[in-house]
Structures are given as structure tokens and as C-alpha cells.
Structure 1
Amino acid sequence: MTTICAAAAGFALVLTGCGSSDSDRDRNVSVVGTGEVRGAPDILNADLGAQVNAGDVSAAVDGVNAKAKAMADAMVNAGVQREDIQTSQLSVQPEYAPEGRNITGYRATNSVHVVVRDLSKASAVLDAAVKAGGNDTRISNVSFDLADNSTLLTDARARAFEDAKSRAQEYADLSGLKLGEVETITESSNGGNTPMYRESAPTSDFALEPGQQTVSFTVQVTWNLK
């Protein structure tokens, strides 16, 4: 009978089978494999809008709605599809005097999430929005992403499994056993995104660098040892 007991911190693996049974099912190796693939992003996501301060609620709301509409129209004219612009936040907050008791006015915010599917137009789209919103423009987040990462995930999954199998084979060889059938597979993935720009005040002439998108995959596989 072969008895196997081993653990390696940092490698996320465990060998089990430290019992008295001679059954092959009692001897297994569980190993975590990782796979990573990089690809070029093909869409840009942005969260932006306008913020207007006024002495009363109606003026603040009317003002911010007008700015938000102008910004949305400008982005459409710059090449964004209208259906790729979605309202993400509407808010109206009172503003107080320094002593914190009397209301001196109201602050209204109207923000949208926009998806730019043609990266060659991304800089022009953001610049058009900023010019339309003027000093009331607010940009909270800009990031690049993949519209469809299924191909990269497939490649990363295959690399993760091969990594796990290679590790398991090494431990089988070290223990003088053979790698048998797969008993269990547990997987997780991370498509990730690439944050590029965060700013609360308006700027123009955006210089955007899409970089590379990393898709990673982790798989834990348990093999029977025989």
C-alpha cells in the first residue's frame, strides 16, 4: 500500500490519501492551474454627465437636464449609437450655508453610462461631450473592455487545465504513481477591465491608450492516482 501526505503553501495544492484503504479512489491529487491570455480591447465604457448648482430645485433640475441632453446629442453626433447611452444617476441635493442650517441652493446631477464601440471615435466622443457640457461636465470613470471575450476565455481555460495537469503529473511521478481519471473540476474566470481615466473636472483633447486586456482563468482539478 502506498501512503501519500503532502502540502505546498503558495502552490494551492493538496494531496490526499493518508488513510488505511488500498482503494485507488482513496488516492488523489488536487491541483490548481492558472491560464492567462491577453487581447486588444474593442470597446470603451464611460460614466459621465453634468452637475448644475442653482438657487431653487426647478432651476437646478432644468439646467442639468439641458446639459445632459446636449452632451448625449453631441456624443451621438460624434458616432455613438443612441441605444448605447443609458441614464445611470439622477440626484438633487440641498446645499447649506457654512453654519450648516440654512439651505442656500440645490445641486442637481444627471449622469449616463455610454459604450463606444468604435475605438477610433472614442477620443472625439469624449471631447464632444466635454465641450457640450462645458464647466458643468463631470467624468467619473473611463475604461476599456472586450465586447466578447469568449475566445480568450476558451484559450485561458485550456492553458489553466494544462497547467493543472502538468503539476499533477509531477506529483504523481514523485510519488511513484500514475495519473488516473479526473474526479472533479472547479473553475473560475476573470475577464477584467482596464481603467484608464478618472477625473471630476472637465478637460479636452483626450489622449487614450487602450493597452491590452487580460483574461485569466483558474481551475482546480482532482485526479485519481493509481
Structure 2
Amino acid sequence: MRAVPLLSMTGTTVHHMDAFVEMTGTGVASAPPDVVVLDTAVRTPGGSVAEALSRADTAMTAIVGIARERGLAPADLQTTSASVYPQYDREGVSVSGYIAQQSIRLRIRERDLVGPLITAFSESVGNALAIDNISLQIDDVSPLLTQARRLAFEDANAKARQFAELASRELGPVLYVVDSPSPGGGLHAGGAPKREMMMASASADMPVEMGENSIRCQVTVRWAWA
């Protein structure tokens, strides 16, 4: 809480200053995620760069084809990286071959599709398949953000009214509102039940527990005294 005196005097000059009370409020809104983000890759060996790249191209083409057959839209498929690097012998001196890698991010909007997709990928490309990460997201966070901001303003308002009552004062009009960065804010996993990803096996039975994601907002509000 910040308060400024109504008047301050320097010598014979009287400076009229606005008096105010300022509070920061925090709001948290939660909702179940509706998108499973699957980061997957293919890693293929070859005796030459061209051979390794060709095998990676073939494997990734198969993965993209399976994803599209299962209903994923082109906008939900995004290549994230591609690389090729040498392999060395046990002494680390001579090049014994090359490894090519291609990575892709899939945004899966039906959680029950995750297990069957991974199974289909593994059956198609075998040990070339790598699952790098699975995360859960909310496609449109706008409603959550609106709710979190409202709760943050209500929190700041409640604090200001409490201190106004303690000071035997009345709140006047709002002078300004600032949407402040929240430490550790933004979208994160939380709520009850907690988000869990059970990846014991790449099978159609792999459970995906969605849990809840939360978004945190802070607002700083300044009121004049009435």
C-alpha cells in the first residue's frame, strides 16, 4: 500500500499532491488442457551422409503420412529440426558412419489418439523412432486470461478496501490499472488432479492424464482517496 500526503511544504511554497492508495492483486484461472503436443524424431544411421539422410527422409515421410491419415491437420504438423553428424569408432579417431535426425512437433487434439499414433509410428519406422517430449496445452487461453485478470482486479480491490477501512477512509475513483508481469506466471501445469504423463510403453493403452493448466496474472491498481 502506498499513500501520499495531501500537501507538502518547501519554504513558503505549498505543493498540492494527489493522495492515492495502490495495490497489486493476483488472479489464477485453471482449465483442462485440450491439446497434446508430441515432439518426436527419427534417427537413422548410414555409411555416408547421403545414405543417412535418405533413410531419415523415408522414415519422416512415413510418420507424416500416418499423422495425416489419422486426421491431423497440416497446421498441426511442424518440422522443428534436422541434422546429420558423424559417428566415430571406439577410439574416437576414424569416422565409422553418420546419423541423420529429423524432428517434428504434432499437436494432437484428441488425447485417445496419442497411444495409437505412437504405436503406428513405431510399427512403421521401428527403432528409428524417438519420443523427445510430451506436453499438454490449452489451445485458446483468452478466456482463462480474462478470468485471471478479473480475479486479480478483485483481489487488489479487496485489499484496498480493507486498508481504507482500517484508515477510516473511503476509496475514490481508479486512477490507473497496470497489467504487471507475474513472477512465475503464465501458463503452467497445476490444479487438481495434477498433470501426469504415464509413458511406460509406446502402446495404444498408454494413459494420458490431462489434469489442469493454470494461468496467473497480476494487476496493479491505484485509487484516489474520496
Most deviating of 216-225 and 158-167: 216-225
Q: Within 5 A, what are the aligned runs for 1:67-216? A: 67-187=59-179, 188=181, 190-194=185-189, 197=197, 203-205=202-204, 206-216=206-216
CA RMSD of aligned residues (A): 2.5
- Structure 1: gaps of 5 or more residues: 1-13
Question: Aligned letter for 2:81?
Answer: Q
Give the count of matched residue pairs.
Answer: 211
How big is the shift at 1:223? 1.6
Contact conserved, 1:75 with 1:126, CA < 8 A, in 2? no
Partner residue, 1:17: 4
- Structure 2: gaps of 5 or more residues: 9-14, 190-194
Q: Following the alignment from structure 2 to structure 1, what is the Cα–Cα distance between the partners of residues 176 and 91?
A: 64
Contact conserved, 1:48 with 1:141, CA < 8 A, in 2? yes
Partner residue, 1:225: 225
Q: Following the alignment from structure 2 to structure 1, what is the Cα–Cα distance between the partners of residues 201 and 128?
A: 8
String of CA shifts for 1:1-22, please: whole Å, max 9, x gaps: xxxxxxxxxxxxx413268538
Could you say what secondary structure the match of 1:63 adopts? helix
How big is the shift at 1:105? 1.4
Contact conserved, 2:111 with 2:208, CA < 8 A, in 1? no
State TM-score, norm by structure 2. 0.82
1:57–1:44: structure 2 CA closer, same or farther, 3 Å change rule?
Answer: same
How big is the shift at 1:46? 1.3
Contact conserved, 1:17 with 1:28, CA < 8 A, in 2? yes
Question: Aligned letter for 1:192?
Answer: L
Contact conserved, 1:31 with 1:164, CA < 8 A, in 2? yes
How big is the shift at 1:70? 1.0
Could you say what secondary structure the match of 1:139 adopts? strand
How big is the shift at 1:193? 4.4
Contact conserved, 1:160 with 1:217, CA < 8 A, in 2? yes
Q: Following the alignment from structure 1 to structure 2, what is the Cα–Cα distance between the partners of residues 166 and 23?
A: 28
Q: Following the alignment from structure 1 to structure 2, what is the Cα–Cα distance between the partners of residues 196 and 92?
A: 33
Contact conserved, 2:4 with 2:17, CA < 8 A, in 1? no
How big is the shift at 1:100? 3.0
Q: Following the alignment from structure 1 to structure 2, what is the Cα–Cα distance between the partners of residues 122 and 149?
A: 22
Q: Following the alignment from structure 1 to structure 2, what is the Cα–Cα distance between the partners of residues 17 and 99?
A: 73
How big is the shift at 1:141? 1.4
Most deviating of 100-109 and 163-172: 100-109
Contact conserved, 1:31 with 1:221, CA < 8 A, in 2? yes
Contact conserved, 2:41 with 2:129, CA < 8 A, in 1? yes
String of CA shifts for 1:60-119, please: whole Å, max 9, x gaps: 101111111111112222232233211111001112234333222111100111111233
1:150–1:54: structure 2 CA closer, same or farther, 3 Å change rule?
Answer: same
1:112–1:202: structure 2 CA closer, same or farther, 3 Å change rule?
Answer: farther
State TM-score, norm by structure 1. 0.82
Contact conserved, 1:79 with 1:121, CA < 8 A, in 2? no
